[in-house]
Chains A and B, each alone.
Chain A
Amino acid sequence: MVSTAEIDGQKPKHRPIIRIGIFIIAHSFLVSVVCCTAGVLALLLLPVLAKKTYVSENALMPGSATPMLSDQDVSGATRFMNELTSPKLKSWNMGIELPRLIALHMSNLGGEVNYHKFQTQPNNFHPLYFFTSPDAEANLVNKTCQSYATNTIGIIRAPRGDGKEAIVLVTPYNPVNLTQSEVLSLGIAYSVFSLLTQVSWLAKDIIWLAADSQYGQYNSVAAWLRDYHTPSFGGHGKLHADNCRGASGMHGSKLDMFVETEVSDTFRRAGTMAAAFVIKVANTGEEGEQDSLKIYAEASNGQMPNLDLINVVSYLAVHGQGLRVKVEKLVSLLDSKWLNFIGEMLESVGKIARSLNPQWKFGIPVQEYVEGSATLVSSLYNQAIGVPTGSHGAFRDYQVDAITLEISPKLSSSNKARQTEFLFRGGRLIEGVVRSVNNLLEKFHQSFFLYLLTSSNKFISVGVYMIAFLLLVAPLPVVAASLFSNATSTNPNSQKHTSSSSEPFQSWRWLYPTKTIFLVHLWGAIVSLLPYFIYQIPECQPTSRLLIWASLSIFILAVLRSFFGSSTHLQEWVLLKSVTVSSLFIGLCLMSVINFATAEIGALILVPMCLMIKPWKIAGKAHSAFNLLLLTVGFPGAAFFVVKGAFGVQNGSGLVEFWYWVESLWAWNSATYIYICMVHLPCWVLCICILLHCC
């Protein structure tokens, strides 16, 4: 045709950048194969590219001061723990007495104490409030006195500080069923609190939050944070608390006499929070000759605290207290054959490289590689699902850097001397961290916020891990462009006989498949909102809810399909694929900004599927079978089960587990849910459309 002749004629006159573009588009197949392979390889190489962590903020100076925690503090903590576990207390109503006892001890140490009564909030799905702060939901809940829990808060004012900043220590405990490990964590916090009331070097206030976790660890902290950040004028919240006070029958105890004068129900505040530490003690003892420390950092939507916070803690734990620091990893991956194989390959490549040039040092031992990968996968997974890994996640919603320190004592921690030593270790670690953060002058900002951990002292920064993702998504626009140019160059020949009137609109033909894609995405949005209505159905099992959801989705899809219009243009699948691919590109890029890990995993699944897809009538048998396999894996639910199966995280039966998993995504306002419903699922449906396209 004239147009193609014109293009051919103009080709040599194009500027070099355009010629390169045309060249790449012409070789789109090669480009996409190379890029995808490189992307996967780059992902596998990440543990090798990890760098050592370092404390970036000068002001922190971890470990520069000797710990001051003394015998007196620890013996005080031991007495406190004995009182907590005394049989006398067991006879009382634990839920009321324990906060009272903790408050008494806090005020005896010299802290300002108050109670915070709060009500649990059921994890309802409110699509309209999806991305808003949790406060928006606060008023919706009707208050009943039964579900009240009581946090106890002790505040130490910095003697010469300006009172504008605070450091928060959180010890979750369940007053109804107090375990030995919770007692230990309370003991550690007590010893630190006891020390900090006496020191003269505090520049930030210290808040000890003994969080009542009988309705969930996260909820208690989140409720306190909500009230901390939303000052209520006129005592609306207090009114409810007072109403319930009489009902819960908190009177007549001997402790009342002591506490009444010092403890008030007015909500006490300190300054803005510089950092928060959730102190926990692991239930089970660890095998090995050392106590160990496990750090949990992931908050909602894959947000991480500043890397400096993790650095300080792990530096002090390793160099100060001789603890073994661990980060969560997928244990099942450690034995996997293929990972070991890749590790060996990389190690031998590193060795060869070093023999060629001694200055090339990029090989790492197999063991390190496998452990790094296991940690990396766990880190990716935790960030991808967007659910916080502990109550520290509540702080991140208020832009406070927080982590959970889970200290696990080595086995046989029962005897007395061992317990004292453990208290010393834990207390000194917390003291060192508090002192280091106390030196801080500004918010944490020097180090990274976007990173993946491969071990407690190795990290991959955003600049490195983005490469893998970019290589994966790079073929998408190329393939879309090449498909589009193919369609525009081939179609006119086939369509010549149908109608000549549509010729002026040739270049706008992509609008037809766009309509289809718009409808499918609309369907995705509807599917994402359906659970809200399903929740309105009372008395329903998870399995049946899941089935209702699925059948409703399919029904709506069928209804919408009638709007698709019959596929009159037989060659349209090329354009359809082109637009699908470009919409996927946009979706993945947007998601990578919100939550990188989700986008990375999504790209791993969707990019091969979208690039390979072809109508089964055109493609060969092997190709179609492969497409079918990719489609099966690519279905969100199937992907979930495949991932679960591959990493061996199995608990509960399939469908129920899936429902709970999705439920947790709603509960934590995870953007992953939106991604699955609005990008992943429509893309999958479109791929099916293309596969079933009759040419």
Chain B
Amino acid sequence: MMNRKRDNFFSRFILTIITVITVSLSCSFVHFSHAASSDSSSVHTNNWAVLVCTSRFWFNYRHMANTLSLYRTVKRLGIPDERIILMLADDMACNARNKYPAQVFNNENHRLNLYGDNVEVDYRGYEVTVENFLRVLTGRHENAVPRSKRLLSDEGSHILLYMTGHGGDEFLKFQDADELQSHDLADAVKQMKEKRRFKELLIMVDTCQAATLFSQLHSPGVLAIGSSMKGENSYSHHLDSDVGVSVVDRFTFYTLAFFERLNMYDNASLSSLFSSYNPNLLLSTAYYRTDLYQQQMEKEYVIDFHLSAHQVPVTNFFGSVMETIHTGSAYRGVSGKDSNRAKFEVSSDQSYDRDAKSITTSSDPEKQAVKSGTCPHADLWNMIVEKVQRIKDVDSIVNYGFVGLLTLVAVSTWHSS
């Protein structure tokens, strides 16, 4: 009798423990799933800019001026210096041929000195090589490289990569000796994607035949704007007859002109930037590649991609990410931006999961859905395993466990008595 009673008690005790643990775990799941979603940085956390001038020599003055103008613009729009990697292959400001020592201008009116006090050049002169450029992108530095020279982006980063120099069919010349080929660039971007170094990447290139440089890109989340199509040249905008060189390229000039009309709180879209390029003024056809970006959108179950690439706000890449900016702009009416943002939050989780499961990135989202639909339990189990693996807050679990034990003891004593 007693034995049976005790058996009964024990079986009930164990059952209760199991239920309590399950309940507590599920509670913690709720907690942790919330925590995880904020940890994975699926939201747009910060903006980075990598600005590269690849050509040397005095007669390439305009390339340095291009890069410095863009540097100034992104700084003005809110990216801080520590998130800008500026690479200048030559020092025009201190060139003996410069009529205005230590000054660089991008306009013949000489109103704006681009080489003012607070210009931080991270890579200069012969440091600007293809190797260093790829190291910056992929983050494979030697130990001694200081943090200020590294691209410390994360998976929530939006990166602007601006390059100018002399290019050709599928290459960009560095320093008169090296060259970066389109597959080098594509490979670096792919590595970045795999290392979760960016969420979105905008590549802007101002060279001859710039569009060819993007031909090998396959990574999702990449937008690309080039100054000219294959077989076209990119021309300089005007000559400063005082300094004796061309001071800015057309593509960059009109890009800057677009941004001069904007301030930090503006909400213009990238497509409006793109449509501001007039082929007659550029003397070349600007090229805008959005299919990779849309691919990502589609994957992230946003079928309605009219909202996506066409209305990417330029501040996604050029501005800062302080939330105050967006509250400020919220008064201007409903924009696609916020809805985009919400979608990114949800969707990047999924894409992240897929990455974790190391399913090869197939471009068909429906297939994915079918796949996950066939075996929901396995999926759930995977999720549990993963969540458990990711639990960092062990203390709270122990606490919950203690609380559960105490209640169990209380209930069992009350029951037995």
Give residues in A with beta carbon < 8 Å to B: 58-59, 61, 64-66, 158-162, 199-203, 435, 438-439, 441
Contacts and interface: CB of A to CB of B under 8 A. Distances in A.
Contacts of A59: 57-59
Contact of B99 (A61, A201, A441): A201
A439 B96 contact: no
A66 B94 CA distance: 21
B232 to A, nearest CB: 19
A446 to B, nearest CB: 12
B89 to A, nearest CB: 14
Rank and list the top 5 A-B pairs by shortest CB-CB distance, nearest first.
Answer: A65-B244, A203-B96, A160-B96, A66-B241, A161-B96
Interface string B162-200: 000000000000000000000000000000000000000
A158 B96 contact: yes
A64 B239 contact: yes
Contacts of A159: 96
B98 interface: yes
Contacts of B363: none
Contacts of A65: 241-244
A638 to B, nearest CB: 54
Nearest to A162: B96
Contact of B58 (A66, A161, A202, A441): A441
A158 B239 CA distance: 24
A61 B95 CA distance: 16
A439 B97 contact: yes
Given A162-B96, A200-B99, A66 B242 contact: yes
B321 interface: no
Interface in B93-114: 94-101
A69 to B, nearest CB: 14
10 contacts: A64-B239, A65-B242, A66-B241, A200-B98, A201-B97, A203-B58, A435-B244, A438-B97, A439-B59, A439-B97
Contacts of B59: 58-59, 61, 439
Interface of B: 57-59, 94-101, 239, 241-246
A488 to B, nearest CB: 58
A199 B243 CA distance: 12
A274 B223 CA distance: 47
Contacts of A199: 99
B104 to A, nearest CB: 14
A202 B57 CA distance: 15
Contacts of B245: 61, 64
Contacts of A202: 96-97
Nearest to B244: A65
A160 B98 CA distance: 9
A641 to B, nearest CB: 52
Majority secondary structure of chain A interface residues (helix, strand, loop or mixed): loop
Contacts of A160: 94, 96, 101
A201 B244 contact: yes
A669 to B, nearest CB: 38
Contacts of B243: 65
Contacts of B100: 200
A4 B242 CA distance: 81
Given A59-B57, A441-B57, 16 more contacts: A61-B244, A64-B241, A65-B243, A66-B242, A158-B96, A160-B96, A161-B96, A199-B99, A200-B99, A200-B101, A201-B97, A202-B96, A202-B97, A203-B58, A203-B95, A441-B58
A169 B101 CA distance: 26
B58 A439 contact: yes
Contacts of A438: 97
Nearest to B98: A201
A161 B97 CA distance: 8
B239 to A, nearest CB: 6
B238 to A, nearest CB: 11
Contacts of A158: 96
B109 to A, nearest CB: 15
A66 B240 CA distance: 9
A201 B241 contact: no
Nearest to A436: B244
Nearest to B94: A160
Nearest to B99: A201
Contacts of B58: 59, 203, 439, 441
A632 B334 CA distance: 100
A432 to B, nearest CB: 10
A244 to B, nearest CB: 39
A159 B94 CA distance: 12
A439 B245 CA distance: 10
Nearest to A200: B99
A336 B59 CA distance: 47
A207 to B, nearest CB: 17
Contacts of B98: 200-201
Nearest to B246: A64
A304 B58 CA distance: 27
A201 B241 CA distance: 13
A438 B97 CA distance: 8
Contacts of A441: 57-58
B207 to A, nearest CB: 15
A284 to B, nearest CB: 35
Contacts of B239: 64
B10 to A, nearest CB: 91
B260 to A, nearest CB: 26
A320 to B, nearest CB: 12
A435 B239 CA distance: 15
Nearest to B60: A58
Nearest to A202: B96
B386 to A, nearest CB: 58
A582 to B, nearest CB: 47
Nearest to A163: B96
Given A59-B57, A439-B58, A441-B58, A203 B97 contact: yes
Nearest to A64: B244
A203 B58 CA distance: 11
Nearest to B166: A58
Contacts of A64: 239, 241, 244-246
Contacts of B99: 199-201
Contacts of B242: 65-66
Nearest to A161: B96
B74 to A, nearest CB: 29
A434 to B, nearest CB: 12
Contacts of A203: 58, 95-97
A58 to B, nearest CB: 5
Interface centre among B95, B242, B244 (most CB of A within 10 A): B244
A158 B97 CA distance: 9
Contacts of A439: 58-59, 97, 244
B155 to A, nearest CB: 43
Contacts of B97: 201-203, 438-439
A64 B245 CA distance: 6
A66 B244 CA distance: 7
Interface centre among B59, B97, B239 (most CB of A within 10 A): B97
B41 to A, nearest CB: 46
A159 B100 CA distance: 12
Nearest to A441: B57
Interface centre among A59, A162, A199 (most CB of B within 10 A): A59
A681 B243 CA distance: 59
B256 to A, nearest CB: 22
Nearest to A160: B96
A223 B162 CA distance: 55
Interface centre among B58, B239, B243, B245 (most CB of A within 10 A): B58
A168 B99 CA distance: 21
B200 to A, nearest CB: 37
A430 to B, nearest CB: 16
A64 B243 CA distance: 9
Nearest to A57: B59
A58 B63 CA distance: 14
A158 B99 CA distance: 12
A42 B58 CA distance: 43
A199 B244 CA distance: 13
B95 to A, nearest CB: 7
